[in-house]
Amino acid sequence: MSKSHKKYIVLFILFIFPIVIYLFFASGKNNFALLPVLTSVVDDVHQWETLTGKSAQFQDRITVLGFWGEDLSNKKGDALNLNQKIYKRFYQFKDFHFVMVVKQGYQAQVEELKEELKAGVGTDLIKWRFVFGNDDQIASLFNSLKTPLQLSNKYSLPYVFIIDKELNLRGRDDDEDGGTLYGFNAQSVAEINNKMVDDIKVILAEYRRAWKKYNKNTTP
């Protein structure tokens, strides 16, 4: 190989190749920067009863939403998985919280479950919110998600959902295992680790970028 050819190869490696790599990742930025909206404007829960009397809401929050209905006796495993893999990792982010939908009349069982979680994992559960509704309220809220999933006869299911600050259901429209991923199976540690953690990171990063952009544009 001639010296001139070697010179061009060295120049390519030093200058052109890094630019090509940059353009490649820059072109793909939009594909990975946003978590797709699967359903627009789901119902909110700001008028539902809570344990504390303080209202919970999806508006202006990043919410992990679950439906426990009257099936609390079978939800300890789900709660532990979510607490260990998601809540403990992200609860310190502002405006991030969990909302679990429970059948009216099961307040005492929720208190017991919370005490078990506190004793077992030692986590501050301040951002675990529980809302209570009747059968019709729970069904109406679930139907507003517009997913192909179904509630059990106890108004529960193992899946949890990501709701953004504008009340939109977020998920995956190109999941490798099933096309559209509306929710995450809280009984599957693998699914939480391999998918849900990543998607929570994406939506938190999305709002951080929006916040930084807003501050940049409003700074005198």
Q: For residue range 140-160, what is the model confidence (pLDDT) as tens digits?
A: 999 999 999 999 999 999 999
User: What integer is the mean pLDDT of 180-199?
Assistant: 96
122 against 80, higher pLDDT: 80
The answer to whether residue 100 scores a pLDDT higher than 70 is: yes
Structure tokens at 215: 């501050």
Question: Mean pLDDT score of the chain, rounded to an integer?
Answer: 85
Write down the pLDDT at residue 168. 98
pLDDT above 70: percentage of residues in the chain: 78
Tell me how far apart the alpha carbons of residues 26 and 44 are, in angstroms, rounded to a whole number: 36
CATH topology of domain 34-218: Glutaredoxin (3.40.30)
The CA radius of gyration of the chain, in Å to the nearest whole number, is 22
pLDDT for 29 beyond 60: no
- On the question of pLDDT at 26 being above 50, the answer is no
pLDDT of 16 reads: 55
| pLDDT exceeds cutoff 80 at 211 | no
What is the reported pLDDT for 34? 84
Please name the residues in contact with 44: beta carbons below 8 A apart, sequence gap of 6 or more.
57, 58, 59, 167
pLDDT in tens, 164-182: 999 999 999 998 887 899 9
In degrees, to the nearest 5, what angle opens at C-alpha 183 toward C-alphas 26 and 135?
Answer: 145
pLDDT digits (tens, 9 = 90+) for 30-66: 344 589 999 999 999 999 999 989 999 999 999 999 9
DSSP string, the chain: --HHHHHHHHHIIIIIHHHHHHHHHHHTHHHHHSPPEEESSPPP-TTSEESSS----STTSEEEEEEEET-GGG-HHHHHHHIIIIIHHHTTSTTEEEEEEEETT-HHHHHHHHHHHHHHH----TTEEEEEE-HHHHHHHHHHT--S----TTS--SEEEEE-TTS-EE-EEEETTTEEE--EETT-HHHIIIIIHHHHHHHHHHHHHHHHHHHHHH--
